[in-house]
Amino acid sequence: MKNWSVLLVSFFALVFLKQILWMGLVPVWHFPDEQAHFSQVQNMAFFAVSHGNTSDEIAMSEILLGTKRDQQGNNKFTHQPWFTIPYSNSVSGVHEQTITDLPKTYTTNLKVREATSYPFLYYSGSMLFYKLFASSSIITRVYSVRFFSLLIFMATTWVVWQIGQLLFQNKFWALGLTTLVAFQPMFSFVGAGVTSDVLFNFFFTLFVYCCLKIIEKPKAQAWLYLFVIIILGQLTKQQMVVALIIALCLLPFRFTPIKQLFCKKTASTIGLILLLSGFLAVAMIFGKAEYIYTFIQSGRNQNQQIFAISLFEHIKFTLLHTYREVLPWYWGVFKWLGVVLPRWVNRVQMGILGITGFGLLWYLVQKVTNFFKTKKLSLFDQKILFLLFSALAYYLALLLWDWQFRRAYNFSFGVQGRYYFPVIIAHMALILVSWRFLWQQVFKKYSPNYVLVILGFWWLILQIIGLRTIIVSYYDVSSWSIFLNQISQYKPWLFKSYSWYLWFSLAILALVLFLRNFIITWRYEKNHKTNC
C-alpha cells in the first residue's frame, strides 16, 4: 500500500506540473476562444452578469497581440502556422508594458461583441480567482483564471482514477486509464486555458462515474447524485441535456431502487422530489433554460428558412469530416487551428484507433454470441457497453445538432475533436479494453499487462511531443538564451526568466520519479502476485 501511495503522489504531481507547463507555454489568448470566455469572467466580476460585451482592455490587448479577429472570425494566426508576433531581446515583450499600463477604466468600457454568454457556474468560480488579482495587470489576471481551470483538470483526473478502479478492479489498469486521459495532448491543452469546457468535462466525467456506480450497485442515493450532477452540468453548459437523455436510457434497466424508495419511504420520497425540484428551478432560472431549446434548435429561429439537406447526406458529410479533420484535431490542434501534431504521430494514432475498432468489433461479436447462449452478461461487460453507448450517443447528438445547424445556415458549425472530450473517459477505456482483449486472443502466453506498458509509455511520449509542438510553433529554440527571453514575454512573474529553470526541472524530476516508482511498484506486485 505504501508503494501505491508514493506512486499515486508522484503521478498526480507529474500531472500537475505538466499542466503548469501547458499553462505557462501557451501565450495569452491562444487557448480556444480564451478572450471570449475571459470577457464573461470579467463581466461577472464587475457587473455580476454572465453576459455582455468585451472590454476595451481585452480588445486593445488582442490588437497588440495579433489575436483580434476580423468579420470572418480570422486573425493573424488563423491557419498561418508560420506567423509569430515580434519578440524583443529581453524578458519583456514589445507591447507588454503598454498592455500592463492600460487604464483601469478600460476594464468596464464594453464596446466589442465577443464575450461568451454561457450559464454562470464556471465563471462564478473563475471570478473568485480573478478578484484575487483584480489590481494586477490583465496578463496576471488571465493566468490566475487559468490556474482555476488547472485545479478543475486535476479534479477530473481524480474522478478518472476512481472510474478506472470501478471499471477494472485493478489499480494498474486504473492508472493506465488515468494516464491515457490525463496525458492526451489536446485534453491537456484545453484543461489549462480559460474556458467553461474544463468544468463541463469534469461534470460529464462525474456523470459517467455515477452511471457506472448505478450499473454496479443501483441505489436511490446514486440516482439522486446523478441528477444533481446533471443540474450542475446544466448550470455550466446547455449540452448537459445529452447526459439527461443517456440517464433516461439507463433508467429502465436500473429502476428498482427508485421504485422501492417510492413504495417504502414516503417522507424520503417527498423530500427527494422537493430537493430535485428546487435544484431544477435553480437550473431553469440561472442556467438559462431557454438555451436548452436554442441548443436543440441549433440557434434557428422559428420563421427562418430551412435548407434542403437530408439526414443521409449529412451523415456522409459528418463521417468524412470526422476522418479528415475531427480525428487529427482530437489529438492536438493549436495556435488558432494553424498547428497540429506531426503527421507521423497522427498516423500512429490512426493505427491505434484502427486496431481498437477491430478489437472492439471482435469483442462485441464474442459477447453477443455468449449472451444468446447463456442469457447472461457480466457486470464488466455491462459497464463497457454503457461506455460504448455513451460515446455513440454523444457523437449522434452532435451529428444531429450540426445537421440542424446546416439546415438553418447552409454550412456546418465546424465540429472539432475537443467537442467530444466530455466522453473522453469512454474513448480511452474502449481503447484499453479493446487492446487487452486482442492481446488475450493473440498473445495468450504473455500477460495483458504489457498493453499498459506499451500504451502508457507511448502516451507519455505523446504528451512530450505535444509540448514540443507548442514550443517550436511559438518560440525560437536555436539557443537557450533566445528561447528563455521569448518564453518569458507577456507572462506574469511566475513564468519569467529563470523561473522556467524551476518548472522544467520539476517536471523532469516528477517524470523520473513517477517512472521509478512505477517500476518499483510493478516489480513488488509481480513478486508478491497480488491482484491490484
Helix (H, G, I), strand (E, B), or coil: what is residue 111? strand
Please list the alpha-helical segments (H only) found in 169-265.
171-182, 185-190, 197-216, 220-234, 241-250, 256-264
pLDDT in tens, the chain (532 residues): 678 999 999 999 999 999 999 999 999 999 999 999 999 999 888 876 666 678 889 999 999 999 998 877 788 998 888 999 999 999 999 999 999 998 877 776 666 666 677 888 999 999 999 999 998 999 999 999 999 999 999 999 999 999 999 999 999 999 999 999 999 999 999 999 999 999 999 999 999 999 999 998 877 778 888 988 998 998 899 899 999 999 988 877 665 555 555 555 555 555 655 666 666 666 555 555 555 555 555 556 566 678 888 999 999 999 999 999 999 999 999 999 999 999 999 999 999 999 999 999 999 999 999 988 888 889 999 999 999 999 999 999 999 999 988 988 888 999 999 999 999 999 999 999 999 999 999 998 888 999 999 999 999 999 999 999 999 999 999 999 999 999 999 999 999 999 999 999 999 999 999 999 999 998 888 777 655 5
Instruction: Please answer whether residues 176 and 453 qualify as being in contact, where contact means their C-beta atoms are separated by less than 8 angstroms.
Output: no
Residue with cell string 456546418:
412
**Dist. CA 192–CA 276, nearest whole Å:** 33
Name, in order, each residue with C-beta under 8 angstroms of 472's C-beta and a sequence gap of 6 or more.
none
Nearest alpha-carbon partner for 348 in 252, 222, 195, 454: 454
Contacts of 66 (CB under 8 A, 6+ apart): 75, 76, 77, 83, 85
- Looking at the chain, the number of H-run helices and the number of E-run strands are 22, 4
H or E segment at 37? Answer: helix 34-47
DSSP state string for 296-347? HTTT--TT-------HHHHHHHHHHHIIIIIHHHHH-EETTTTEES-HHHHH
- Where do the structural domains in the chain lie, given as residue ranges? 307-442
Residues 161, 178 contacting (CB under 8 angstroms): yes
Q: Which pTM does this prediction carry? A: 0.93
Place of cell 478572450: 35
Count Cβ atoms within 10 A of the Cβ of residue 278 and give its class: 0-12 exposed, 13-18 middle, 19 or more buried: exposed
